[in-house]
Amino acid sequence: MTRHVDVTTVLETIQPELSTGEFAKVIAHISPASPAQTADILERLPEDQQPIFYRLLPKDRATAVFDILRPRQQSDLIKGLQNKEVVEIFDGLDPDDRALLLDELPANLSTRLLQGLSGEKRRHTTNLLGYPKDSIGRRMSPHVVSTRETYTAGETLARIQNHLEDAETVYTIPVVDDARRVVGVVGLRQLLGAKAEDKIGDLMSTVHPASAYASAEETARLCIELRLLAMPIVDREGRLLGILTVDDAGRIIEHAETEDTALSGGVEPLGRPYFSTPVRSLVRSRIVWLLVLAIGATLTVHVLSLFEATLAQVTALALFVPLLIGTGGNTGNQAATTVTRAIALGDVGNSDLVRVLGREFSVGLTLGALLGTLGALITGAIFGVSIGITIGLTLLGICTIAASIGGVMPMIAKKLGVDPAVFSNPFISTFVDASGLIVYFLIAKAVLGL
């Protein structure tokens, strides 16, 4: 029987017990925890204690906990377990979970694990591995029960009963023709409410299949958007290959948004919980981006050096540099975040580049006019009318440029086949800083007659 436990308290208690080998006490402390709480405890343990902790779990609890872990975390755990334990865990996974795990494991270990599977399980897993890495074919479940238009409701319910143990879902049943092409779907609710002799062709409804080669993230978002319990996955000829359930779609989206959040902040996704990530990995996930951004920042320094004489003549201009480049960076990041989100939801497509540019130009112009007017009034009252006009016009120009660039960069990235999140905050901030300073000093020279 599970109950709520304080994960932090349990963690502090069992760590010294694991170090001293008091395993009976560890088992007593974690026995009330649910699988989700147990997984949370495992993820927070030091890397060398995780395999020891995992071996102490009862077999059913261990299987449930392993399913909850992220693929990279599963990979780390497997490397610390004995070969027999690894084979048992791998054999008990669903084919789509096996495919995800194999992507994280060394090639020699992946080959050994595949060879240890039975013929059918190996076939299902290698079939999934044959699809592109980011495609929905890698994430679908091949364990799907189907029916035909000519079958009756009674016959279909009997088929479902025969596959209760191995089917990924029984709530949405694809309807196929003689060539296994998907022609519709029928829900379990409809089957239960129908007469046993009713034909499936009269009960089925419109189907929304997805190609196995389609993007996993886009397919998952479509499944959620259409409010489907499950979506059939088909080959290029429309033949049934597998199914995507709504809970798997939710996990795909969660993983994608976690990656986007990290990339937009200039950090490589960790792929494992924070406390389970070694310090060296945290450093590695950030250093490359910091170096790239530092190199980009030299452009800003170069712009400042070009206008050094202008700054020397009117030193008050230097006071506003942080305000202006900060406002420009924030405006660009807001636009990039909005458009990236719209791309992910399917609201914006590749053909909408000009429309997006026009809208973001208008938004930036409006924001710049509002902020520029306010900035001109406040700055003019303190530093004089000329400085006020300079700041006002600069805010107008910077906001317009930043919003326009921030809006189109994610779309350009999409056209180039690059994750739009990569092109958002870090690169936009660097570009806007440099261009904003150029606009600022050119306006200052014109207004102040320098």
pLDDT for res 15: 87
pLDDT band at 404 (very low <50, low <70, confident <90, very high): very high
Superfamily of the domain at 279-448: SLC41 divalent cation transporters, integral membrane domain (1.10.357.20)
pLDDT for res 314: 66
Angle (CA) 422 266 434, round 5°: 85
Contact between 211 and 234 (Cβ < 8 Å) = yes
**Rounded to an integer, what distance in angstroms lies between the CA atom of residue 316 and that of residue 444?**
11
Average pLDDT over residues 286-306: 65
Residue 234 pLDDT > 90: yes
- pLDDT tens for each residue of 175-192: 999 889 999 999 999 999
Average pLDDT over residues 397-406: 91
Residue 282 pLDDT > 70: no
Residue 426 pLDDT > 60: yes
Specify the CATH number for 147-258; select among 3.30.360.10, 3.30.420.10, 3.10.580.10, 3.40.50.300.
3.10.580.10
Taking all residues of the chain, what is their mean pLDDT, rounded to a whole number?
81
pLDDT for res 377: 93
pLDDT band at 441 (very low <50, low <70, confident <90, very high): confident
The shares of helix, strand and coil residues in the chain, as percent rounded to the nearest 5, are 70, 10, 25
**Rounded to an integer, what distance in angstroms lies between the CA atom of residue 91 and that of residue 44?**
26
> For the whole model, what pTM was predicted?
0.57
- pLDDT tens for each residue of 48-82: 788 888 888 887 888 888 888 877 778 777 777 76
User: What is the DSSP code (8-state) at residue 350?
Assistant: G
Q: Which residue has the higher pLDDT, 237 or 341?
A: 237
Query: If you count them, how many residues does the chain have?
Result: 450
Distances (CA, A) of 321 to 297, 304, 325, 429: 14, 10, 6, 14
3-state SS, 26-93, equals HHHHHCCCCHHHHHHHHHHCCCCCHHHHHHCCCHHHHHHHHHHCCHHHHHHHHHCCCHHHHHHHHHHC
pLDDT for res 292: 64
Q: Which residue has the higher pLDDT, 51 or 279?
A: 51
**Rounded to an integer, what distance in angstroms lies between the CA atom of residue 43 and that of residue 54?**
11
What percentage of the chain carries pLDDT values higher than 90?
A: 23
- pLDDT tens for each residue of 353-390: 899 999 999 999 999 999 999 999 998 898 889 889 99
pLDDT for res 374: 93
Neighbours of 440 (CB within 10 A): 26
pLDDT band at 421 (very low <50, low <70, confident <90, very high): low
Residue 267 pLDDT > 60: no
pLDDT for res 126: 75
Contact between 77 and 52 (Cβ < 8 Å) = no
